[in-house]
Amino acid sequence: MSDDVTATESWHALAAHQPHVFATTLRELFALDPDRGGELVVQAGDLRIDYSKNRLTRETVGLLLSLAREVGVEDRRDAMFAGAHINTSEDRAVLHTALRLPATAELTVDGHEVVADVHRVRHQMGRFSDEVRTGTWRGFTGKTITDVVNIGIGGSDLGPAMVCGALRDYHDGPRTHFVSNVDPADLLATLDAVNPATTLFVVSSKTFTTLETLSNARTARRWLVESLGDAEAVSRHFVAVSTNAEAVAEFGIDIANMFGFWDWVGGRYSVDSAIGLSVMLAIGKTGFAEFLGGFHTIDEHFSTAPLEQNAPVLLGMLAVWYNNFFDAGNRAVLPYSNDLARFTAYLQQLAMESNGKSVTRDGHPVTCNTGQVWWGEPGTNGQHAFFQLLHQGTRMIPVDFIGFAKPFRDVVTADGTSMHDLLISNFLAQTKVLAFGKTAEDIAAEGVAPNLVAHKVMPGNRPSTTIFAPKLTPGVLGQLIALYEHQVFVEGTVWDIDSFDQWGVELGKQQALELLGSICSADPPAPQGDSSTDALVAWYRTQAGR
Ligand code: F6P
């Protein structure tokens, strides 16, 4: 294959094919291929994924899969699962998939058996969470733990925060809280809501050097010591999740109370490692095992299903289709589940930190667009906010709709209607209206005044994918996360980028530390090298009375 994906045969074939699809509406595609609604559907674990309302034909699918084969998606996938150093810029294996292997599996990476390590830590987490949940582990004053505060940011926050929210109905352990922002408002709001004698802080940081996390953790420790009046209290109220034992010990947490993981777990892929400790504390080790089992189901599907039936491959290639052949710079993920309120925020880190890259793995500028902007909010709220643009705006925004057949609890209204049925009727109606719209003729036939017809026309022809699952359980949530992890991987493979580094966020961290000196010091601030930043620093110092 050529090193430049846009010079491959399959890319050229897709480019030649695109105008035919572009010229055909979804209405026409369904008329030409009436069975597509039942056939352009793939089943992955419990997830039923209907991709028929997308702007493609069966021929498009074949061409997209040829591209996947030509760029070596299968080989690269196998290399990832085997522990090859596919994160080339950091020279690391990428092995979040090892975190969900059963204890009976074996996987040697860099000469080391990793599955035993994974299960050793899982066992340590299980023992600890049992102790906290049963009240065997008590706070310094002898009280049981009622609240857990996870302090972390990025992958050390978004995953457990999203999952704890999503699995709210499965909580039977202490309440969970999440503090991430270095804005003191975040920590203070949480400290105001908890009792120091019954609160456990889980300081989660892969590196244990992250400014936000360490600032929040130090402040929380001071608050705890001042509240309980004894520095010895720290050992009963602080545990750590990290790969950096030295920094954890330096912070003052006994490494016996540290839960480890490894450099081959990327931050945004870490919710199924010890970073999920707060999830386990909330739902218990059995629920957590079910959650990991969901990931493993999709790992198996991704590694064994033929590409024609391989959900992460199909969805990843669909994203490439829109991004690179329709110039769709963004995509929306809209869960029709209030409990998945943070799911899209979680996916933003997963997708945008992974695929927000402009050079290929060997450092050459990419020749096509890479990662899209991901965004979204739960339905039905979004319908009353941004859906207008989805339906009648000038941009084509591909959408993923996620819904569940059964709610954890339903409510039947006074007139006998299930509120969950109302939710799902909205969910299905939106995919239908986006795809098929409403023509001027239909609208005129309803007697609408001629001057209003144009305003009411729903153009349709707007693509969406419907992901339906029986119920939002720990296992199904694991499946959903793994589905997105792997499709992001497929996209990155096509673009030949390193989806597992994040150098772009490092410079901002460094500059923040440099600027801190300038905005705090009693001396005049050092020039920043540009007149805008100099003026902003000067304005801030005046306002802050420095
Ligand atoms: O924001 C960049 C980042 O490096 C993320 O990739 C990571 O999840 C987050 O910071 C937190 O890092 P750590 O877990 O080391 O505190």
- Please tell me if the CB atom of residue 159 comes closer than 6 angstroms to any atom of ligand 1: no
**Mean pLDDT, to the nearest integer, of 164-186?**
98
Angstrom distance (rounded) from CA 138 to CA 519: 42
- Strand ranges of the sheet holding 258-260, from the earlier edge strand across to the other edge: 175-179, 147-151, 199-204, 238-242, 258-260
Question: Which positions ≥6 away from 536 have C-beta within 8 Å?
Answer: none
Determine the distance separating the centroid of ligand 1 and the alpha carbon of 349, expressed in angstroms: 10
Per-residue pLDDT reduced to its tens digit, 373-425: 999 999 999 999 999 999 999 999 999 999 999 999 999 999 999 999 999 99
Ligand 1, residue 506: give the atom nearest the CA: 2
- Please tell me if the CB atom of residue 207 comes closer than 6 angstroms to any atom of ligand 1: yes
**Mean pLDDT, to the nearest integer, of 458-467?**
97
Supply the residues annotated as catalytic. 353, 384, 509
Determine the distance separating the centroid of ligand 1 and the alpha carbon of 22, expressed in angstroms: 40
Per-residue pLDDT reduced to its tens digit, 321-375: 999 999 999 999 999 999 999 999 999 999 999 999 999 999 999 999 999 999 9
Among protein residues, the one with the nearest Cα to ligand 1's atom 6 is 267
- Please tell me if the CB atom of residue 390 comes closer than 6 angstroms to any atom of ligand 1: no
- Please tell me if the CB atom of residue 154 comes closer than 6 angstroms to any atom of ligand 1: yes
Q: Yes or no: say if 129 and 281 are a contact pair by the CB < 8 Å rule.
A: yes
- Mean pLDDT (the chain) is 96
- The DSSP line for 364-386 is PBPSS--PPEEE---TTGGGGTT
Among protein residues, the one with the nearest Cα to ligand 1's atom 2 is 505
- pLDDT > 90? residue 14: yes
- Please tell me if the CB atom of residue 474 comes closer than 6 angstroms to any atom of ligand 1: no
Residue 64, φ and ψ in degrees, nearest 5 = -65, -40
ipTM for the predicted complex: 0.98
- Please tell me if the CB atom of residue 213 comes closer than 6 angstroms to any atom of ligand 1: yes
Q: Yes or no: say if 279 and 296 are a contact pair by the CB < 8 Å rule.
A: no
Per-residue pLDDT reduced to its tens digit, 65-118: 999 999 999 999 999 999 999 999 999 999 999 999 999 999 999 889 999 999
Question: 278, 350, 505: which to mutate for ligand 1, most atoms within 8 A of CB?
Answer: 505
Structure tokens at 133: 């949940």
